[in-house]
Structure 1
Amino acid sequence: MAVSTQLATATLLTLLTATTAMAETSASGTVCGGDLVGFLQGVKAEAVAAGASAAAADTALANAEIDQKVLSRDRAQGIFKQTFIEFSTRTVSKARIEQGKQKLQQYGEVFRRAEQEYGVAPGVIAAFWAMETDFGAIQGDFNTRNALVTLAHDCRRPELFRPQLLALIKMVEHGDLDPQTNTGAWAGEIGQVQMLPKDIIAFGVDGDGDGHVRLKTSSPDAIMTAAKFIQHLGYKRGEPWLQEVTLPENLPWEKTGFDAGMKAGDWFKLGVTPRDGNTKFSELEGELLLPQGRKGPAFLAYPNFGIYLEWNKSFIYTTSAAYLATRLSGAEAYLKGEPEQGLNDVQMKELQTKLKAKGYEVGEIDGILGGGTRDAVQKEQQKRGLPADGWPTPALLSAL
């Protein structure tokens, strides 16, 4: 599975519930666990009651089995601890940018149609495609039906995966998926843009006109479906999503990050300068993002950046994906600057422990600079009269 797929799935896993080995009914009334044959009979009955044919359900569920590798992957969540510069340098490589531009040219007519119908910039769609599967090269090798049977049968969060299994039965009935051979990510995502069956049913677009939505094999289907899905996430036609900026020496650093209520024009008046010189979106909300503090790369995030946070909650991952979209749309490589030294894994856990002891909500002590830890760092910096840019340093750890 591609790194990007693992990360996207890691977002899904924030919905984890308690595990139990017994058959039980979840809060939503979804039955899980117990004998697999009986479980599958229940799935078939629910699918038929929802309008699927019995034949389609039988075809979809025939020879279904529990995949222990899926369970192992589900319980071994990846930990994301790279810095923005480390991760974006790897994922927004020269080779990937060149390949992305080639895809934009190769499927130019499809991208134009997607933008016309759904308002999504071609670079945004192409970046989504690149980050998910490297333009279809790495789509996962888990049997999709078995992965969803496994996760729906398991009692960690059946309310999330049983509906996906029911949607897969609809895809089988439509002739869009062969349950015996279709492969994808371990959590059931399918195709070049890695979408779950319910989303494919809701947002799938037949981009090549063959009467089917086949995201594994059809790039036009993947491009058009991604565009419709991104529009659904809230993307606004004609608006930017991320813009690199340079910074003056002094700013109200405590207002950087999310939810400060500033407009882009407010930052421009304070001396924040777009590298591309474009200030025509001054009236849009603009959040100043400093992935590695005030001395590292800096970006203004506009409302369209929200689609990335709907897609994946990792700040480093989403900022890298949005940055890739700007590069595919013609932006220059960002200025790395000279970020202050950060913390290693042991130091980060020590910092989180100290911040938690002071009453901050940092979440799990995991060594990850997530939103809660960034917010706590920023507040502690402000209390101590330090530039409150949210970037933890050895100096701050020593001060604590």
Structure 2
Amino acid sequence: MRPKARLLAPLILAALPAFAPALTQAQEATGPKPPCGGDFGAWVDGVKAEATALGHAPETVDAFFSGIRTDPAVLKADRAQGVFQRDFVDFSRRLISENRIANGRANAERYDATFDRIEAEYGVPRGVLLAFWAFETDYGAVQGDFNTADALATLAHDCRRPELFRPQLIAAIELYAKGGLDPASTTGAWAGEIGQVQMLPEDILVNGVDGDGDGRVDLKNSPRDALLSGGKMLAHLGWRANEPWLQEIVVPEGLDWSQTGLDTQKPVSEWQALGIAGRSGDLGRADLPASVLLPMGKDGPAFLAYPNFRVYFEWNQSLVYVTTAAYFANRLSGAPVYDAGNAAPGLSGNEMVRLQEKLQARGYDVGGADGILGEMTRQAVQAEQQRLGMPADAWPTPALLGAL
């Protein structure tokens, strides 16, 4: 938040609550939810039975659950989503500081050989991983202090997203059996992520790499292990080597705004023919599919999103987060500060809820009236802007709210 299940720990900024985990599209499309809620002890017995049926030794399962308890603070963090209501300029300025840039460049030099290995083996540029490392844990400094086993059990028992967290709890048992997790002492983010780049148990089992050659995968204490594991995970999620991910662009005033947004892709050559140009540097390869992303409408920052940008959503589902992370990767790779433009005022959280309710009443699926401008809401906004004869740039304004 994959929710999709990667999330940001509370560390991102002291002023911001933890991010919701990110889910893969496949996970989001799963069928009925697994058993959840009710008496916690009885529910644990059900998880134990499932784990044993999957081949885990009963004594291992019993030992894992011996001290498990629910953690109300985890549920409180899970419900705290106000951070996603910030717009891109506000959000990115809060997350990207000169200190984070300086530390990123210092770490790029300190772990130069590791980043060279990641680029050679997985095709993931150092700026991309540095940005995740910075946002997730401030380069390993703040990894979260929630008990991992308790957090996963709490969220698997809760009926909001058990389809995501119950498999992660089962994976944690396997990680425990292999010596990679101690249910009594392993800590991390509120949604069960562990280590310097915050990975869930399933991800560690599949993508964990012993980067420093000490014979074990230690994502909490070894930057090399964490970075190589993160690189492998991004490659596993579909990262395409030697291709860009996000690039700031200049857009012509006469562009058909209804063609912008992540649901519309054209080859770079077609965008160039329409007057799109890179703000600094050339655009990507002419045949690369790309989308014009206007996170704050036609008068705000403008980017060209390439196929690799979509991989970011396999790490976290928040549009404002992935856009900021992708942009920060560019900054760490030498790109200039973006042109903030002069975007029209957006909506407050309560106004966004009202807008989403109006859109739902008109038959749009916006993923719930949560006050967060996600991609589903943006698509509905764009459709209504077209219907009303407004510039269809997917940026909701008080004028649009009034018109509805």
Instruction: Please state how far the C-alpha of 1:27 moved relative to its aligned partner.
Output: 4.3
Aligned pairs for 1:250-261 (under 5 A) are 250-261=254-265
In structure 2, do the counterparts of structure 1 residues 154 and 256 end up closer, same or farther at CA, with 3 Å as the change threshold?
A: closer
Contact 1:177 1:214 in 2 (8 A): no
CA positional deviation for 1:214 = 1.3
Amino acid across the alignment from 2:346:
G
Secondary structure of residue in 2 paired with 1:286 = strand
Amino acid of the structure 2 residue aligned with 1:112: D
The 3-state SS of whatever aligns with 2:248 is strand
Cα gap change, 1:343/1:74 in structure 2, threshold over 3 Å: closer, same or farther? closer
- Correspondence 1:281-292 to 2 at 5 A: 281-292=285-296
Answer with 176-185 or 300-309: which moved more.
176-185
Cα 1:374–1:207 change in 2 (3 A) is: same
Q: How far did 1:28 drift? A: 6.6
Q: Distance in 2 between matches of 1:224 and 1:2?
A: 21
Partner of 2:4: none
The one-letter code matched in structure 1 to 2:11 is: A
133-142 vs 360-369, greater mean Cα deviation? 360-369
- Unaligned residue ranges in structure 2 (runs of 5+): 1-9
More off after superposition, 243-252 vs 366-375: 366-375
Distance 1:280 1:364 in 2: 36
SS in 1 for 2:249: strand
Q: 1:48 to 1:363 in 2, by over 3 A?
A: closer
TM-score (norm 1): 0.89
Instruction: Say whether residues 1:70 and 2:70 are aligned partners.
Output: no
Give a deviation string over 1:247-303, Cα, whole Å, max 9, x none: 222101110001223112211111111022213412101100011111111000000
- 1:297 matched to 2:301? The reply is yes
RMSD: 2.7
**Is 2:92 the partner of 1:81?**
no
User: Which residue does 2:7 correspond to in 1?
Assistant: none
Q: Which amino acid aligns with 1:332?
A: P
Match of 2:20 among 3, 9, 34: 9
1:95 counterpart residue number: 99
Contact 2:118-2:124 within 8 A present in 1 as well? yes
Equivalence for 2:395: 391
Q: Which amino acid aligns with 2:376?
A: G
In 1, distance between residues paired with 2:70 and 2:297? 46
Q: Measured at CA, do residues 296 and 157 of structure 1 come closer, stay the same or move farther in structure 2, by a change above 3 Å? A: closer
Q: Which residue identity does 1:215 align to in structure 2?
A: L
- SS of the residue aligned with 1:342? coil
The residue number in structure 1 matching 2:3 is: none
Contact 1:10 1:77 (8 Å CA) reproduced? no
1:374 to 378, 398, 401: 378
SS in 1 for 2:85: coil
Bigger Rg over Cα:
1
- In structure 2, relative to structure 1, the CA distance for the partners of 1:39 and 1:390 (3 Å cut) is closer
Equivalence map 1:176-255=2 (5 Å)? 176-255=180-259
Unaligned ranges ≥5, structure 1: 18-25
- Say how many residue pairs are matched: 391
* Structure of greater relative contact order (alpha carbons < 8 Å, 6+ residues apart): 2
Could you tell me which residue of structure 2 aligns to residue 147 of structure 1? 151
Residue identity (%): 51
| Equivalent residue number for residue 112 of structure 2 | 108
Displacement after TM superposition at 1:181 (Å): 1.2
Question: CA 1:61 to 1:357, structure 2 compared with 1: closer, same or farther past 3 Å?
Answer: closer
Partner of 1:269: 273
Of residues 166, 172, 182, the one that matches 1:168 is 172
1:2 is matched by which residue type in structure 2? L
Normalised by the size of structure 2, how large is the TM-score?
A: 0.88
